[in-house]
């Protein structure tokens, strides 16, 4: 009896030891079935990282429950929690969505228009046609309209309005660039109507401006998670 009990304990201890040991996980990162090169694969739990090759392949040490982040400059970052099944299959396929392509800014420096040309005979024809329809021109009876009146423009009273300063939305653009569309709802558990309010809440923190100096996906993500806890405590 004792032998069976020891054997059972040894078996579970062995299995637990295997599950807690880091294994080399292999995988591939794709976008619309196209391999992505130089995607940064980060094991946030173990604080290690690697990059994909030209075939989109990578390998990294992981253990169950580790959190992997896949970051590519032209796509939204993806986050995945590793399960034991992922480790056992050892063939992880990650699909990521590319960001919409932004067009370069177009600056118009000089616009030239063709000069307006007129014909004296054509102008005379227009005046004759107009006068033919004029009641006073034909009958001498006034239709109470004012002819040859001067157009006078009066300046508006009061001081001119100052131009409204543009809001500094750099942090908002940074957060949306680094985060997929469903990150705030799926990961931060925010309601759709709270998304804009949460970004404004984060932007009010002076630390958000320091993130703009040296943008980093891990730093931005940690900041958003931290502010999310503060945001929830305020409700």
110, part of any domain = no
| Residue 12 lies in domain | 2-95
Any residues with CB less than 8 A from the CB of 102 and at least 6 apart, and which? Answer: none
Which pLDDT score is estimated for 158?
53
Banded model confidence at residue 59, pLDDT cuts 50, 70, 90: very high
Q: Is residue 30 a part of any domain in this protein? A: yes
Q: Which of 51-55, 95-99, 111-115 has the highest mean pLDDT?
A: 51-55
CA 115 remoteness from chain centre: 45
Which domain CATH number covers 13?
A: 2.60.40.1120
Q: What is the pLDDT of residues 20-52, one digit of tens each?
A: 688 999 999 998 889 999 999 999 998 999 999
Whether this prediction's pTM lies above 0.85 is answered by: no
The verdict on residue 105 lying in a domain is: no
Read off the pLDDT of residues 64-101 as tens digits, 9 standing for 90 and up.
999 999 988 777 667 889 999 999 999 999 988 777 66
Q: What are the tens digits of pLDDT across the range 161-191?
A: 554 444 578 888 888 888 887 888 888 888 8
- Residue 147: inside a domain: no
Examine the fold and report which residue of 65, 95, 125 is the final residue of a domain before the chain moves on: 95
CB contact set of 174 (below 8 Å; sequence gap of 6+): 211, 212, 215, 220
Residue 44 lies in a domain: yes
Asked whether residue 217 is domain-assigned, the answer is: yes
Query: Where does the chain have alpha helices with state H?
Result: 2-20, 84-89, 120-132, 135-139, 170-178, 195-203, 207-213, 217-234
């Amino acid at each position: 009896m004792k032998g069976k009990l020891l054997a059972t304990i040894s078996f579970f201890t062995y299995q637990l030891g295997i599950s807690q040991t880091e294994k080399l996980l292999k995988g591939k990162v794709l976008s619309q079935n196209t391999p992505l090169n130089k995607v940064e694969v980060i094991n946030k739990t173990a604080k290690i990282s690697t990059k994909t090759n030209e075939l989109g392949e990578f390998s990294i040490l992981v253990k169950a429950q580790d959190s992997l982040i896949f970051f590519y400059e032209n796509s939204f970052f993806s986050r995945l929690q590793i399960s034991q099944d992922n480790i056992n299959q050892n063939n992880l396929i990650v699909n990521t969505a590319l960001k919409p392509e932004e067009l370069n800014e177009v600056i118009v420096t000089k616009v030239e228009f063709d000069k307006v040309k007129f014909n004296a005979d054509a102008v005379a024809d227009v005046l004759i046609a107009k006068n033919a329809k004029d009641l006073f021109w034909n009958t001498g009876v006034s239709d109470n309209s004012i002819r040859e009146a001067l157009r006078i423009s009066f300046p508006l009273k009061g001081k001119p309005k100052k131009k409204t300063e543009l809001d500094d939305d750099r942090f908002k653009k940074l957060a949306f660039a680094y985060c997929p569309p469903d990150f705030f709802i799926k990961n931060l558990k925010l309601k759709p109507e709270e998304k804009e309010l949460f970004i404004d809440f984060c932007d009010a923190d002076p630390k958000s401006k320091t993130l703009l100096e040296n943008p980093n996906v891990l730093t931005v993500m940690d900041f958003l998670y931290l502010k999310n806890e503060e945001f929830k405590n305020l409700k």
